[in-house]
A and B are shown apart, each in its own frame.
Chain A
């Protein structure tokens, strides 16, 4: 199975400041169909996960534009341009290029 490794595992951030999370896969996530099935999900406390970004950089419906995704191959990044209070939670990268899919360990974003 593909192993997904996130850094950092915890990210204390000041309101209004940027935050960045890295995700590295143990092998390339480029599918034979040419797509890269790398997604980012947010899980707020006490809630189910929510899709933020799919196929590296596509924001899902209703996701604020302060969230952006980038990367290629095995290295990917989620950036929050200006952290707001509602962004507190755990963020997961996830690959669906090879089934079964796998998640990163999660990165906890909290306010300083």
Chain B
């Protein structure tokens, strides 16, 4: 079964850091672009970042540039999002998604609050 499972979310203070992980299974992970998409409470979807199959290209939404880093480990079938200098407005459910957004995980919740 094709599956993506996110983990690593939680409550963090403003200015803090978190590292999200996404474990992929059931498909050849190294063959796909991968993305992180977030959804703030009661709001729409926002594409956060994506990364090419070999990690050679990465793109970020302006609001996270310089603070978030997307990475992947194809040997471990895993996608990551390192989030630093977190702000209240980063509070959201974070989803990982495959390629053309044809497979999504269930999401992990990040809450930034003091």
Contacts and interface: CB of A to CB of B under 8 A. Distances in A.
B46 A103 contact: yes
A48 B47 contact: no
A94 B107 CA distance: 19
Interface in A8-55: 37, 39, 41, 43, 48-51, 54
Interface in B45-64: 45-50, 59-62
Interface residues of A, number: 23
Nearest to B101: A51
Contact of A92 (B44, B95, B104): B44
B67 to A, nearest CB: 14
Contacts of A92: 44-45
B44 A106 contact: yes
Contact of A1 (B49, B61, B95): B61
Contacts of A51: 100-102
B36 to A, nearest CB: 10
A100 interface: yes
B62 A1 contact: yes
B49 A106 contact: no
Contact of B45 (A37, A49, A60, A99): A49
Contacts of A99: 50, 59
B45 A106 contact: yes
Contacts of A103: 44-47
B91 to A, nearest CB: 18
Contact of B100 (A48, A96, A104): A96
B50 A54 contact: no
Contacts of B101: 39, 41, 49, 51, 94, 96
B49 A48 contact: no
Nearest to A106: B44
A48 B50 contact: no
Interface of A: 1, 37, 39, 41, 43, 48-51, 54, 60, 90, 92, 94, 96, 99-106
